[in-house]
Amino acid sequence: MKILACNSNRPLAEAVAAALHLKLATASVRRFADLEIFVEVHENVRGEDVFVIQSTSYPANDHMMELLITCDALRRASARRITAVIPYFGYARQDRKAGPRTPISAKLVANLITQAGANRVLTLDLHAGQIQGFFDIPVDNLAAEPMFARDIRSHFNGRDIMIVSPDVGGVVRARAIATRLNCDLAIIDKRRERAGVSEVMNVIGDVRGKDCILVDDIVDSGGTLCNAAVALMGNGAKSASAYITHGVLSGNAAERIAASPIECMTITDSILPTEAVLQSRNLRVFSIAPVLAEAMQRISDESSVSSLFD
């Protein structure tokens, strides 16, 4: 088993390698003057079970090309099996034709990864589970939900909690956590009544006096969660916190979250946290390295990955 890190999240790859008592394989990713990417693997990988760790996060296109080119290099170097470990799978939000003459980019990206030589994919909380079907190779889609449930139990011990889905699309994920924690679920129904008029946030469920915990897969601009927190507090919630798998946090999202009523937002390190995130008053980063490492070990040993979540 060999682990190779591309450039999107080296600290996570190092933590995974340390958990497996391995060293990262030596490779370099360089640029030509016109910014073309060139990858060179500096050690023999012939016949090896190789795991390439790369989140296709910002800058998404560069990180995607690094992953594709690395898979190509490994395939041509006769690696026995290549697993693309993609903690955050970018382009996942483009998983259907959103309108006439629009692409399904998540499918295109799945094709590219497969064509580049990946034999399997290991990822975390895909935006939509059915994206697994875009690949004709095995996909293990890990869930942050059991880790989040354990963390919520210890951090909110003794508090009257309620899990909240910030939109109708996230109900299944939120309900799964509420069921694990044996607590109630509320849903925020966002609606824009007319173009140019701000969104109306209807809270479905009685959140009065509750410590509300918003659960979602992605925080990008932070708009969805900040508005949801305002709506919850406006409906009498005692506090609003959040557990989100992928901290995309584009632009000034960290500042926006710091200025919101959110007590604490926990994200994972599926995407490398920026300095603004690390310094923020109410963002907290939770490492997925142990669970990724365990899943990789099980893939290598050909043992069950799903039983990790029992």
Contact positions vs ligand R5P (CB under 6 A): 166-167, 169-170, 216-224
Tokens 């509320």 -> residue: 186
Residue placing its CB nearer to ligand R5P in the complex, 211 or 217? 217
The least distance separating ligand R5P from the CB of residue 79, rounded to whole angstroms, comes to 34
Specify which residues 164 forms β-bridges with: 186, 214
The least distance separating ligand R5P from the CB of residue 121, rounded to whole angstroms, comes to 20
Q: Is the Cβ–Cβ distance between 289 and 308 less than 8 Å?
A: no
The least distance separating ligand R5P from the CB of residue 135, rounded to whole angstroms, comes to 21
Residue placing its CB nearer to ligand R5P in the complex, 216 or 269? 216
Active-site annotation, residues: 190
Residue placing its CB nearer to ligand R5P in the complex, 250 or 303? 250
> How many whole angstroms separate alpha carbon 39 and alpha carbon 107?
25
Residue placing its CB nearer to ligand R5P in the complex, 212 or 289? 212
Residue placing its CB nearer to ligand R5P in the complex, 223 or 236? 223
Q: Is the Cβ–Cβ distance between 206 and 178 less than 8 Å?
A: no
The least distance separating ligand R5P from the CB of residue 236, rounded to whole angstroms, comes to 23
Nearest C-alpha neighbor of 181 from the set 127, 243, 262, 270: 243
> How many whole angstroms separate alpha carbon 161 and alpha carbon 140?
31
134 Cβ partners below 8 Å, 6+ apart? 95, 106, 107, 110, 111
In what order do the strands lie in the sheet containing 2-5?
2-5, 49-53, 81-86, 120-124, 139-142
Other beta carbons less than 10 A from residue 1's beta carbon: 15
The least distance separating ligand R5P from the CB of residue 248, rounded to whole angstroms, comes to 7
